[in-house]
Structure 1
Amino acid sequence: MSRRVVLSVIAGGPVLGGAGAFTLVHAQNQPPALTHSTAHYIAPEGARSGSLTFTTDVTASSGLKSVKVLAWPANSTFAKKGLTAKDMAAVESAVCKPSGGDTEQCTYKVAVTGADDSPRGRWHVAVLVTAKNGDTTLNTKAADFTVA
């Protein structure tokens, strides 16, 4: 092996090692991520209540502190002014269970009664995720459903 190749390998080792450490630190500093978000709406009928079930997979390297969920009509004031993390502060939380690695599957389920009072049309599900390290992710349109 030539001396030049040996020096290149020796010099390249710390560079690659440094890049790997950067990648690891960068991955740990990622905000929480949502995937596979779905909403399933069942309208109430007669005396039977309906339901809204929202599920999502949340990945947070530092772990989850909270997952807040809010269903909102697409033609509401939130559509005009925008939904903020402050708007999400007092809403209900999803229940989360570990599903492997840094990921948890979170489910929010609520009974729906009085559908005549609910605005008809498209609705969005907003999600505010807070990780244990304080990082947050707000997705104002994580999933959609329709109230007919």
Structure 2
Amino acid sequence: MSKRAVVVSALTGVALLGGTGAYAADAAKVPNPAPRVTKTSNAYIAPTASKSGSLTFTARVTDDSGIRGLRVLAYPDSRKPRPTIKELIKADAAGCKVKSAKVSDCKYKRTITRAQAVKAPGTWRIAVLVVAKDGGKTFLPSVSTFKVK
């Protein structure tokens, strides 16, 4: 093989590798989509004079990297200002069960006393913060509502 053929082959290889590297660098710049929250539901059971009630919130959360956690905050609709991400970071954590590498089903349950229900009747909202394993976040300040009677 001549020196010329070796040089041409080497230059062709460098060009191909350089092109692949540029593509990989561009692909690395594309941000991962934010975690998604689907299939939400909530159930509010009013407390009675002799028995506490409860609030249960469930959601399916999905992210390509997996889910690190889901934070939940219930608040009265009359609240101004609305909750912030900073508040949700400190909110109660839902229990999440991994369904696959990308999907988790999460459940949050809280006991509601009669005294609590009497203090704040009316419409309530549920805010959530999902954190993915890759650090991606989705903040939903009002993902669901329920009535406290």
TM more than 0.5: yes
Match of residue 56 from structure 1: 59
Return 5+ residue gaps in structure 1 as ranges. Answer: 1-17
Match of residue 96 from structure 1: 96
Matched, 1:145 2:143: no
Match of residue 71 from structure 1: 74
Return 5+ residue gaps in structure 2 as ranges. Answer: 1-22
Residues 39 and 125, structure 1, Cα contact 8 Å, conserved in 2: no
Match of residue 132 from structure 1: 133
Query: May I ask how many residue pairs the two structures share in their alignment?
Result: 122
SS at match of 2:123: strand
RMSD: 1.9
TM-fit CA distance, 1:101: 4.8
Match of residue 46 from structure 1: 49
What is the TM-score when the length of structure 1 is the normalising length?
A: 0.76
The 2-side partners of 1:107 and 1:125 are apart by: 13
TM-fit CA distance, 1:82: 3.0
Identity of counterpart residues, as a percentage? 36
In our comparison, the structure showing a higher alpha carbon Rg is 2
Counterpart of 1:106, as a letter, is C
Counterpart of 1:134, as a letter, is G
Residues 97 and 105, structure 1, Cα contact 8 Å, conserved in 2: yes
